Structure 1
Amino acid sequence: MTTDITKAAGITPADPRTTLLRWVTVAGGLATLASTFLAWTWTAEFPGDLTVTGYPGGLQVLTLVIGLLIAVFALASLGIKGLGWLAPAGSTKALQLLALGGIGTTWFTLIAITVELGGVVNLEPGGFVAAVASAIPVVTAYLLPDDTRKAARPKELPSWAEVLIIVAAFAVGLYVITYGIDTEYAELFTGYLITVSFAVAALFKAGLVARLSAVTAKYRQVTVIAAFVAAAAFPFTQSTDQYTLVAVNILIFATVALGLNVVVGLAGLLDLGYVAFLGVGAYTAAIVSGSTASAFDVHFPFWAAVLTGAVVSLIFGVVIGAPTLRLRGDYLAIVTLGFGEIFRIVMLNLDGTSGPQITNGPNGIPNIPDLEFFGYNFGESHNILGFELGAYANYYLLMLLATVLVVLVFSRAGSSRIGRAWVAIREDETAATAMGINGFRVKLVAFALGATLAGLAGTVQAHVQHTVVPEMYQFAGPVPPNSAFLLAAVILGGMGTISGPLLGATLLYMIPAKLQFLQDYQLLGFGIALILLMRFRPEGLIANRRAQLEYHETGQLDVPEQRTTDDAGVGTAKAGA
């Protein structure tokens, strides 16, 4: 009967047992989807209102999405015409990950209802249906044979079709990111993390991301424009500035993390006091931007304040780097850690009592005015293309331009002669010096460039938050930015890459911001994340090819077999020890 159904649907014949398992997986995905249209609890006290029959809400929407993906990928594994392009590298691994994501999201929701409302009695029959339905794909997906294969070359598509694929991919990405930032309660954000994590991992295993990467590499200019337009469109999707502020801070910290990536990722210099350069730029901008609490009666225009903050950070980078960069390894890390603490203590002491009256000590510099550029006040709402953009939306667009500038600097520097010298110093400073590279000068350039990029971001941060205080610039603290946060963003995301620190900073800022209870355990979370990453993906979430080859065995160094002769004079093979 199964064979008849398969032929009728136009599916490539396969082993009957495997085909049956795939059809059951399709049914499990559809059952998981259908269960979201049932009530999971009887009371609206649980956020998201999961009491409505016939209309999914809250966390049910995430289960619906993952159930749909399970069904679609299971149909693709059956060879349905038109769906094969979803899994060019095989569908079994992707189905397993999607099934885990489905049961993870669904059971997390049901457990949260039970714990928060006080017992299993608060679950409606729809909740039990969802629990059973989400377990079916897990069982069947892990019974399927592994069909992992090398992705075949895709069929050539017209240029307009490939451009549309790129645009659609960035549109979906914008929606997914916006959904995560706009989540209103911790339970929904936790479910979002579970769903997105397993779904993205499944897309990688299926080979769909690699195929999309090949298309974007073919149309690099279109990709860059689409990425910028998608990022710039974010504030136009917001009705208030509540979540736009989160996005602004993400861009600030991502930009600073990219600057640190120059120092750590390219040059291999372990800097534990990098947040001090962010503070130098912020304090400089606060002093020269006309704040009523500034010790100097000056008010620089926008461009002058930004340049002043960047230049002062550059000077500090050179002054601090010149005597310390002759050190290596742990010694350099200790010295940079000391510089970060010295900066914070000096800012505390410049209060008019312990030292000159410059920074107001622990009170900081408040009342920093909003930026104004050619009559455009960033602190006021503006109507653009019929959309009302608030103050934080203005700063978001400004910070987006700064991020683009930093990305451009990083990419150009990394591909230049000095960038290759940084990599050589990182891999083996002694060998690089023997080949004629001036190690001290190359490291000083990296240190100064990283400091300048951090100072640039600090000038914008001062105006966004309208105040700067010494406690904002510590090695570790409950609220980012801090040096530990920035270093973790670079390592988790992937050292030496552009998208890695951007992703790392986004995750490490959003998770504490959305899950408030984690702020008291931030360092614990960093430690656990780093341990897991070093165990399962030491090259980072997004790594370049060099790092993948360094951290994973490739078999290239295996000892070849040696030929020996036994007593009878017959040659036998013997594996090398």
Structure 2
Amino acid sequence: MTDIPAVTTLAATPPATRRTEPFIPLPLTAARAVTLLGAAVTIASTFLSWTYTTDFPGDLTVTGYPGGLQVITLIGGILALLLALAAFRVKGLSWLVPSRSNNAVLAMALGTLATTWYTVIAIAEELGGLANVDPGGFVAAIGSLLLFLGTLALPIDRQPEEDDDTEYYELGRFAETSLIVSAYRALRSLRLNHSDLRIGDPRKLNPWLQRLTVVVVFAVGLKILTFGIATDYTEIFIGYLLVIAFGVWALSAAGLLRQFQQLTQENRRFTAAVGVLAAIAYPFAQNNEHWANLGVNILIFGTVALGLNIVVGLTGLLDLGYVAFLGVGAYAAALVSGSAFSVWSGVQFPFWAAALTGMAAALVFGVLIGAPTLRLRGDYLAIVTLGFGEIFRIAVNNLDGVSGPKVTNGPNGISQIPDLSIFGYNLGNPHEIGSFTLGRFANYYLLMLVITIIVVLIFTRAADSRIGRSWVAIREDETAATAMGINSFRVKLIAFALGASLAGLAGTVSAHVTYSVVPNPYQFAGSSPPNSAFLLAAVVLGGMGTVSGPILGAALLYLIPEKLGFIQRYELLGFGIALILIMRFRPEGIIPNRRRQLEFHEDDTLIPGQRPLGDDTVPASTAGA
């Protein structure tokens, strides 16, 4: 691929505001040699035996054939080597690092070091000491350490040094202790700075080459996703997460993420179409019903999080009982879907009618709850919605024919919900499509994908409409919005009702996927999703006010505990830590809305003509009332 000339983007900050210097003083030639030597040794070590026993997951005993975590280390080493050669301006590879920064090499080297040393330490810990590590493991540890030390000696783009009289108000009373201030200043001097480096404009490439790039990126992303989901061992999945996290950081430092965002903005409709095709290809890319079930649940929770995003992200209303609307939709669909345990067991609506019933029931509850409570603001509204969520769970528990009318069968719930049949296509039976077999969960995955697309279209159309601009105006300043003539109560009630109906729609599919509906999951916080804390964390973590943010947040918060079973007991603790970190380091979320990113980083100088990295659901120019 030819290099993209970096001539269209100006520097975002004057040269004095950024410094380029190594962490370790070493001649540049020596630093490059150590970096390349470390990468080569790390790659070669993956073809050696790391342990003599197969008791460690992945079988690392074979010489000449990497397995398990060796494959992940091999990938990290190869990526670090390619980025290093590109940063060193080797002809034909420089397009891999359009920012021309060694920061990308440092990030990937750190990821390779973390994965390799984690593997060696895990072998020693699980098998009873370093005696269980073969020479190949020590060679890998030394090679990855050489790679990392070599990159530390390369010129690194860093934040400028701060003056000695700089005040750090965030330290509070510790700002009076000189030792703490000096240590804090030293830590801040380690920060990298590559977000404002010049990169070439990929939109000057041939349009067909642009689209080919989008297709290749989605194809590689699908392969990476299926590889991680299909990982059976906790140790391998942790290594996978390490390489993915540092790999994304490296791609960001290289400037490739910014270039890909420019391509997607230039080819929005094509990118959306390719994204949908990649999602459709997911059940065909793996042939395991358990992984298909993971995909169904991610889409269900992501769709519900999108509905909550209308209430929280666009309108700014803190709803702590939102999962109850998912339960309303699930129970309404279960009652009319022909279950033998339903009080209307003789009634079996077709899917479209059951879906409308679930949406309508959730809509009615949303209006009934919202009408008397949406005149409240802030914490008072949050407390009321939290109470509604608990009232719903307690009510369905008591509608068992003993404590109250027999409607929901109490704690036993409504079970034996039959599988859906749409136009004669029974989703409960496996179906052959060419050489592929779509099982039950794969069928429901495709159905839920269609519903998710519908919800995304509803969300985007509503966010870009006049009512959507009113939601944003209320979120920013309800008093000012009311003074400008917006009926805040009516607008908030519409947001509440629309969000509730979308959750109810997802609940209708959820009831059929799980075969039963019981009260326990529909609470504020629980051991497993869905619950209101999970959904709220997904919206905040992914990015409030965006389309892809809540879906990504739901996927991460569901998939990681599912694959790392040992942290399921500490799920709420994990949510809390994740929210603290995201609020401290990236308050706008992983995929930020452009307007909110500008609000949180209003002191940052933007590159002229460059739009901030984020999901532009609501245009900043029309976000007012």
Scaled by the length of structure 1, the TM-score of the pair is 0.92
Mapped pair 1:415 → 2:464: yes
Mapped pair 1:49 → 2:59: yes
Alignment-derived partner of residue 174 in structure 2: none
5 Å matches for 1:148-227? Answer: 148=194, 149-154=197-202, 156-227=204-275
**Distance between the aligned counterparts of 1:518 and 1:207, measured in 2?**
34
Deviation of the 1:542 alpha carbon: 1.1
The superposition leaves residues 45-76 of structure 1 with CA deviations (integer Å, 9 ceiling, x where unpaired) of 01110111111111111111111110000000
**Distance between the aligned counterparts of 2:122 and 2:523, measured in 1?**
35
Deviation of the 1:364 alpha carbon: 0.5
Instruction: Indicate the SS of the match to 2:520.
Output: helix
Please give the root-mean-square deviation of Cα atoms over the aligned residues, in Å.
Answer: 1.6
Residues 555 and 310 of structure 1, relative CA distance in 2, 3 Å threshold: closer
Check whether the contact 1:22–1:77 (CA below 8 A) recurs between aligned residues.
no
Q: Pick from 92, 95, 107 the counterpart of residue 117 of structure 2.
A: 107
Alignment-derived partner of residue 498 in structure 1: 547
Mapped pair 1:529 → 2:529: no
Structure 2: runs of 5+ lacking an equivalent: 1-24, 158-193, 606-625
Structure 1: runs of 5+ lacking an equivalent: 1-14, 557-577
Alignment-derived partner of residue 76 in structure 1: 86
The superposition leaves residues 214-263 of structure 1 with CA deviations (integer Å, 9 ceiling, x where unpaired) of 11222222211111111100111222212111111111111111111111
**Distance between the aligned counterparts of 2:100 and 2:532, measured in 1?**
41
Mapped pair 1:323 → 2:333: no
5 Å matches for 1:235-254? Answer: 235-254=283-302
More moved, 157-166 vs 248-257: 157-166
The superposition leaves residues 110-151 of structure 1 with CA deviations (integer Å, 9 ceiling, x where unpaired) of 111111111111100010011111111211212221354221
The amino acid of 2:372's aligned partner reads P
Instruction: Indicate the SS of the match to 2:432.
Output: strand
Check whether the contact 2:26–2:153 (CA below 8 A) recurs between aligned residues.
no
Mapped pair 1:543 → 2:592: yes
Residues 294 and 155 of structure 1, relative CA distance in 2, 3 Å threshold: closer
**Distance between the aligned counterparts of 2:602 and 2:360, measured in 1?**
44
Check whether the contact 2:202–2:210 (CA below 8 A) recurs between aligned residues.
no
Residues 538 and 501 of structure 1, relative CA distance in 2, 3 Å threshold: same
Instruction: Indicate the SS of the match to 1:383.
Output: strand
Q: Pick from 229, 232, 237 the counterpart of residue 280 of structure 2.
A: 232
Alignment-derived partner of residue 86 in structure 1: 96
Instruction: Indicate the SS of the match to 1:150.
Output: coil
**Distance between the aligned counterparts of 1:505 and 1:129, measured in 2?**
39
Residues 509 and 155 of structure 1, relative CA distance in 2, 3 Å threshold: closer
Deviation of the 1:512 alpha carbon: 1.1
Instruction: Indicate the SS of the match to 1:472.
Output: coil
More moved, 509-518 vs 271-280: 509-518
Check whether the contact 1:493–1:499 (CA below 8 A) recurs between aligned residues.
yes
Residues 397 and 438 of structure 1, relative CA distance in 2, 3 Å threshold: same
5 Å matches for 1:305-384? Answer: 305-384=354-433
The superposition leaves residues 238-294 of structure 1 with CA deviations (integer Å, 9 ceiling, x where unpaired) of 222121111111111111111111110000000000000000010011110000100
Q: Pick from 123, 126, 129 the counterpart of residue 133 of structure 2.
A: 123
Alignment-derived partner of residue 152 in structure 2: 142
After the TM superposition, list the runs of 4 or more consecutive aligned residues in structure 1 that deviate by more than 4 angstroms: none
Residues 154 and 360 of structure 1, relative CA distance in 2, 3 Å threshold: closer
More moved, 88-97 vs 130-139: 88-97
Deviation of the 1:550 alpha carbon: 1.9
Residues 50 and 16 of structure 1, relative CA distance in 2, 3 Å threshold: closer
**Distance between the aligned counterparts of 2:513 and 2:201, measured in 1?**
48
**Distance between the aligned counterparts of 1:82 and 1:403, measured in 2?**
41
More moved, 234-243 vs 354-363: 234-243
Instruction: Indicate the SS of the match to 1:151.
Output: coil
The amino acid of 1:369's aligned partner reads P
Deviation of the 1:155 alpha carbon: 7.8
Residues 466 and 132 of structure 1, relative CA distance in 2, 3 Å threshold: same
**Distance between the aligned counterparts of 1:72 and 1:371, measured in 2?**
50
The amino acid of 2:578's aligned partner reads A
Deviation of the 1:555 alpha carbon: 5.4
Instruction: Indicate the SS of the match to 2:437.
Output: strand
Check whether the contact 1:76–1:91 (CA below 8 A) recurs between aligned residues.
no
